[in-house]
Amino acid sequence: MYKIVGIVNYIIVIFLNAFTDLGHKIIIQNTIFKVYDGDMLVVLTAVVNALILLPFILLFSPSGFLADKFPKNKIMEYSSILAVFITLGITYSYYHGLFVLAFSMTFLLALQSAIYGPAKYGYIKELVGEKYISSGNAAIQATTTVAILGGIIFYTLLFEGRYSESLVDESEILKAIAPLGWLLVFSSVIEWFFASRLPNKMKETSPRKFKFARYLRGAYLRKNMKVITRKREIFDAIIALSLFWSISQVVLAIFGEYAKSNLGVTNTIYIQGVMALAGIGIVVGSILASKYSKYYVNLGLVGLGASGITMVVFLVPFVHSMALMALLFMLFGLFSGFIMVPLNARIQLLSSRVHLGIILAGNNFIQNIFMFTFLMLTTVFAYKGMDTEILFYLMGAVGVYLSFITLKHYFVDTFWAKMLILGSLRHKYIYHGLENVPKEGAALLLSNHVSWLDWIILQLPFNRYLNYMMEKDIYNWPVFHAVFKKGEAIPISSKASKDAFNEAHNRLKSGKLVAIFPEGKISKDGKLSKFHRGYEFIRDDYEGYIIPVFIDGVFGSLFSRYKNAKKKYFWQRRIINVYFGTPLMAQTSASQVQEVIQKMKDKYETK
């Protein structure tokens, strides 16, 4: 992916954009933190965050229109120029101690980001294509997070270095830290330089025109909301992201006051540092999400991420050590990466090129309405004197709902994500010949059978469910039964084999993938047993092929029926190779398929 022309410039632009936006926000938040405490601290922190969110709500239709009509690289370039002038205004307000002006400049900087947003994220798909869409989102999410993390640490250290206890109000603090404004200006200029060198990936411009009167009447809003809700999968992903960001915003908004009141921490370096560790977690989570989405967008990670952040939020009030709090925030970030990367990639993947900008702007619109609402409720609760500890429990309750809806949508995907993560701890999976398995349409996969994990190993590289034929007794195993049923497995027994083969035929006729282990049992010696002819009773009038499969490397493991006398060291990962052979005609007999897989075994087996 990093060989693609423009990718490095794009990453630099993303980094500097987030670094600059965050820098000013941190300076304002730290100023508020030094001057205020109690309810007013929570209220003003929430207002700062609200000023950042409002432009994304107000500019939903215009920003989406611009991203769809004009080249996205040009929108980023001109927005970067606008940022230069805004940061000059911010620097002026610092030097003259104009806190209200500096405070309001937060809104202008966010206004620039709102125009920038849909083009910035829509450019990922244009630049890297569908093949690298998960990796592209992971790289951009990691870059943004590193920028946020770097901005928090960099500007907080500089702020504390210039701050003195003798400074009593906002005006004096701003004058003391005023030179930091030039760093914001410098970052904006460098951002513009690299943005001006991004390649134009727009194939054709849109003839549409923006009519301001329709915008004021809300006509664009109604039309664009219909575009967003047209595909249920896109809208579900947006709602899940909106709930996640709402939880995150409230947690970050109240943590400063919680640490000050409940933990007795007053140094902004410690507080911002703990929150910055969530950024490290997001980087790690994004990298892992990219790794686990090597073959497709792994939506199962979303269910794991939602459950994870819920657990973390509930644990925060029970932790009284900043070291443990730092660990919790890092875990919060890791699970956040599991949510953000797959869902953003899914939205971009399912969006048409014509409406990509509108959908991404709508994503920002809905997310920011959620976040704005949650922050306003936080402000009201704080004004009424509600303890921040209770707010953590309320966010945990929202997390429970988020976990429920994500598991509802991605239940089976979550199971496979767990299997992939657990399996990757001890195994390295390498798949060969995946191009032989159709991305659409029917195929019957016939494989050797050497371990209890074979059915998991075969499923991992596919976004489509393999419809396994399995013994009815295994199909009815407690706990796993719900997964087998949801995963569309086909139970078979000696008394009902005809019905099972008829069902397999129906699945193949409808274009699904069916998988069978024709040996009928796990090998005890690693050799191929005689292939049963049962699958030959599946009528071959479907449009598809037989795919021979050979699994190598798992025989002799803990999950096989043969235990090698030569034990592996615990920390050694087992390398498992899976080979998908050239497609065979549906009429191919069991003995012929066995012969093909035997030849694959002789050729590929690791000795």
This prediction has a pTM of: 0.75
Q: CB atoms < 10 A from the CB of 515, how many?
A: 25
Give the Å distances, CA to CA, from 76 to 188, 402, 416, 441.
12, 33, 38, 41
Q: Which residues pair with 428 in a beta bridge?
A: 575
Distance CA 470, CA 576 (A): 23
pLDDT of residue 401: 95
Give the Å distances, CA to CA, from 186 to 29, 103, 132, 505.
21, 20, 32, 66
Q: Does residue 449 contact residue 562 with C-beta atoms inside 8 Å?
A: no
Place of tokens 């066995």: 594
pLDDT of residue 496: 67
DSSP for 506-567?
HHHHTT-EEEE-TT-S--SSSSPPPPPSGGGGS-S-SSEEEEEEEEES-TTSTTSS---SSP
β 513-516/442-447 pair status: parallel
Residue type, 32: I
pLDDT of residue 336: 92
pLDDT of residue 547: 94
Q: CB atoms < 10 A from the CB of 385, how many?
A: 8
Contacts of 483 (CB under 8 A, 6+ apart): 412, 415
pLDDT of residue 85: 92
Give the Å distances, CA to CA, from 570 to 32, 92, 424, 451.
52, 61, 14, 19
For the stretch 291-333, pLDDT in tens is: 898 888 899 999 999 999 999 999 988 888 888 888 999 999 9
Contacts of 414 (CB under 8 A, 6+ apart): 300, 302, 303, 304, 406, 407
pLDDT of residue 607: 61
For the stretch 175-211, pLDDT in tens is: 988 999 999 999 999 999 999 999 887 766 666 676 7
Residue 501 — φ and ψ, nearest 5°? -70, -35
Q: Which two tokens stand for residue 162?
A: 């210039």
User: Is 320 strand, coil or helix?
Assistant: coil
Alpha-carbon 253 to chain mean position? 22
pLDDT of residue 141: 79
Domains belonging to the chain, first-starting first, are 7-197+217-409 (1.20.1250.20), 425-604 (no CATH)
Q: What are the residue ranges in the chain where pLDDT is below 70?
A: 2, 38-39, 42, 203-208, 210, 215, 217, 220, 268, 383, 496, 562-572, 607
Residue 428 — φ and ψ, nearest 5°? -115, 120
